[in-house]
Amino acid sequence: MNTNSKYSIAIISVFLWIGFVCAISFMEAWLKFSAPGVTIPIGLGIGRLVFGALNKIEWVFTVGIALNLILTKTPLLTARNVFYLVPVALLVLQTFLLLPFLDIRAEQLIQGEELPSSNVHFYYVGMEVLKIICLFIFGIKILGLNGKFETDRAD
């Protein structure tokens, strides 16, 4: 089976995942606040919805990639796959730690509470950058510079 068809779900998922994160985290997130009439509370409300939806889509991509690797009998725990496993770990942290914290904080700001500044948003952005870099490297490795994604040798 040729590499591109064997890993087609993983390839499509990786590059769509990159596109979604880039479009939402690096464009929509800050751009919405420059639109006329968008106040901080409205922007935060939109952001909560959009980032909640993005998180769910990221899990779909994560599962799609994992299933593609499992169904093609590709070992998950290899040095090569660290570029997939790091984004998965970051997604777990974002889903269960950062997003709930940011969601509560956004709701408090929407309700008009004054809050001390927080660096959590910067941690989230840093994770997004690291996730994109790792996914890109993983995607390139799946495509394979030599047209073959080697699964039968140890890294």
Residue 30 has pLDDT above 90, yes or no: no
Give the position of tokens 């769509």: 16
pLDDT digits (tens, 9 = 90+) for 78-88: 888 999 999 99
pLDDT digits (tens, 9 = 90+) for 53-79: 999 999 999 999 999 999 999 888 888
Judged by phi (left if over 0) then psi (alpha if -120 to 50, else beta), residue 136 lies in alpha
pLDDT value, residue 144? 83
- Backbone phi, psi, residue 77, to 5°: -95, 75
Contact 102, 123 (CB under 8 A): no
The CA distance from 44 to 50, in Å, is 10
pLDDT value, residue 147? 52
pLDDT digits (tens, 9 = 90+) for 101-119: 999 999 999 999 999 999 9
The CA distance from 78 to 151, in Å, is 9
Residue 145 has pLDDT above 90, yes or no: no
